[in-house]
Amino acid sequence: MQLAIAAGVTALVTGLFLAPLGAQLDDQAMRRALAIAQTTAAESRLDDALEGSRPARNGPVQNEAERIRRATGAEYVVIMDVRGVRWSHTDPDEIGRRVSTDPSGVLAGHEVMQIDEGTLGRSARGKVPLRDEKGGIVGAVSVGIAYESVQERLLSTVPQLLAYAGGALAVGALAAYLVARRLQRRTHGLAFSDISALLTEREAMLHGIREGFIALDERGRIRLLNDEAQRLLDLRAEDTGRPLEDALPPGRTAEVLAGRVRGADLLAVSGQRVLVVNRMPTDDGGAVVTLRDRTELERLGRELDGTRGLIDALRAQDHEHANRLHTLLGLLELGLHEEAAEFVTQAVGVHRATAEQVTERVRDPLVASLLVGKATVATERGVSLSMSAGSRLPDRVVDPHSLVTVLGNLVDNALDATAGRPGARVEVEILAEGRTAVVRVRDNGPGVPEPRRAEIFTEGWTTKEPPAHGRRGIGLALVRRLAERYGGAAEVGECPGGGAVFTVTLPDALSDALSDDPPEQPSGVPGTVDGAVAGARHSEGGETAGPGGCVADGRRPGDAPGGAR
């Protein structure tokens, strides 16, 4: 197509050049004939010869006309009188005859230029009146230039013109070839019909899938935005072409989409939606960003975690209540009725106080249920699980599932480290600092040696025997991965006097909306919070918080202060 366009343009330009060239050559020939005629008419001897002689083959007029014709190279020089009778001609037999064309115009005093047919064929003619000394018209001079000479000049110009046109066409063909090659490379050899079909399919696919899709150019401007991305990020189709920073409010979501936060499956929060973001750079310096809505998945995960927590709590409480009933039955059989009443009153009162303490400090129902369940499990394993007095968590957690995952893994790790030790104690602290949630879990276990603190969050690293049905070493790695997705960090340190303290910071884990409504209480499971009570009153040795807010050392004399977890 490009070659055809180049050839057509070249032919058109050549034709447009040749069309006026013929007219210009005709005009030049006629002006040359007119100039010769004017020069001939200026000869003073001609008017005298016309008045003092007769037309003859060897007359003075014929001789002068032939001299001028041979000198100028004209085809003919014809001199006529006022009657239109020839006095000179290239063919002597024509002398004395009237001219073949109408001489009225020139005999009336007008100069004439024309292309005309005469006795000598087609020629470019110039005619001027012949005047005497007084200015009267005594005849006329007609000079002809052979039209074949005009055609020869035109034809002699055509090869040169065609050479230039051919050169221009060759340059156009080379440019068309180079453009076609570049276009094929840029389109990966696809034809225009294939590109059109792919574009149609892409539009249908991008606007039909349930994942958000954003394409960015090298300057960070949005060049493609599908319907799901508009819904998830509250954008409009008019935002296409705008810089990403102008279309989105400042925050972690904009940082992740712009590529300033790197990683796979990064978590971002847009309004009340929890998004999983992946960013893939493109060859032209831009990027393609995909968004997945995890809001529904998180809701299902919460329900599943709640069910698992209730199952663990029921299993542990079943064992605990059986022990209490056995104790109560023994007191009654021994006839110690007052001691039995005091035992029941003390248990119920402590349980109720502890349940109120948990619900006052932790307003999110999923996190509160997790703590209650873990406390019950801790009691069964002989560990006292309690909350610090400064813990406060409002009911505005954006992604409770992630917080439950972090807290559950840290508590499980602390329980594994302290289980079986005398005076085992674990303390949980949850703080809300603006939109940032800070989780600290302290224990009085063997602690983490400083050389191993950099390895403890590595996936697969563990000191425990792997179970037959699975693998270990993923809990703390998952904690660090979740913290990094939020833009936070996970750290481990040592409490004064021994033990470990794990600190996890989760920026943007809390929403700006405040809620003063009390959290929903678990229902349908009698005594769900009893585990927290049992955990709080386990180890009657009276462990207290040690210096620096860490739990006091519960080790026996001679125990090693360090050791792998």
**pLDDT tens, N- to C-terminus, the chain (565 residues):** 888 888 888 888 887 777 777 777 778 888 989 999 998 888 767 877 777 778 888 888 888 889 998 998 888 899 998 888 999 998 888 888 888 888 888 888 899 998 877 666 677 889 999 888 888 888 999 998 876 655 666 667 778 878 888 888 888 888 888 888 888 888 877 777 888 888 888 777 777 777 888 899 888 899 888 888 888 888 888 888 888 888 888 877 888 888 888 888 887 777 667 788 888 988 888 899 988 887 666 567 656 765 765 676 677 667 667 777 778 788 788 888 888 777 777 666 555 555 667 777 888 888 887 887 787 778 778 888 888 888 888 888 888 888 888 888 898 888 888 888 888 889 999 999 888 999 999 998 888 888 777 778 765 455 555 444 334 445 777 788 788 888 888 899 888 778 889 999 998 888 876 544 444 443 333 333 333 333 333 333 334 344 345 654 443 333 333 333 3
Residue 34 CB coordination number (10 Å): 22
pLDDT of 309: 58
d(C-alpha 317, C-alpha 306), whole Å: 16
d(C-alpha 91, C-alpha 169), whole Å: 50
What is this structure's pTM? 0.43
Tokens describing residue 103: 């001489």
Sheet bearing 266-270, strands edge to edge: 222-225, 212-216, 287-293, 273-281, 266-270
CATH level 3 topology of 297-549:
Heat Shock Protein 90 (3.30.565)
76 forms bridges with which residues in the sheet?
144
Q: CA 132, 136, 138, 142: dihedral to nearest 10 degrees? A: 90
Distances (CA, A) of 404 to 239, 274, 483: 37, 15, 12
Helix (H, G, I), strand (E, B) or coil at 212: strand
Tokens describing residue 89: 């001609």
Q: Where in the chain are all domains bearing CATH 3.30.565.10?
A: 297-549
d(C-alpha 529, C-alpha 519), whole Å: 14
Q: Where in the chain are all domains bearing CATH 3.30.450.20?
A: 2-153, 200-293
- 85, 79, 146: which is closest to 118 by C-alpha? 146
Contact 80, 95 (CB under 8 A): no
User: What sections of 94-250 are H helices per DSSP?
Assistant: 104-107, 147-186, 192-208, 227-233, 244-247
- 430, 343, 385, 408: which is closest to 537 by C-alpha? 385
Helix (H, G, I), strand (E, B) or coil at 393: strand
CB-based burial, 51-75: b 16+ in 10 Å, e otherwise: eeeebeeebbbbebbbebbeebebb
- 410, 450, 445, 449: which is closest to 551 by C-alpha? 445
Distance between alpha carbon 134 and the CA centroid of its chain, in Å?
Answer: 92
Under CATH, to which class is 2-153 assigned? Answer: alpha beta
d(C-alpha 49, C-alpha 416), whole Å: 143
d(C-alpha 414, C-alpha 425), whole Å: 9
pLDDT of 6: 83
Helix (H, G, I), strand (E, B) or coil at 415: helix
pLDDT of 518: 44
The residue count for the chain: 565
Taking domain 200-293, whether its CATH number is 3.90.226.30 is answered by: no
d(C-alpha 61, C-alpha 46), whole Å: 6
CB-based burial, 349-375: b 16+ in 10 Å, e otherwise: ebbeebbebbbebbbbbbbbbbbbbbb
Query: Which residues neighbour 101 within 8 Å (Cβ) at sequence distance 6 or greater?
Result: 116, 118
β-pairing verdict for 112-118 and 121-131: antiparallel
- 425, 393, 405: which is closest to 501 by C-alpha? 425
pLDDT of 4: 86
Helices (H) and strands (E) in the chain, counts: 15, 14
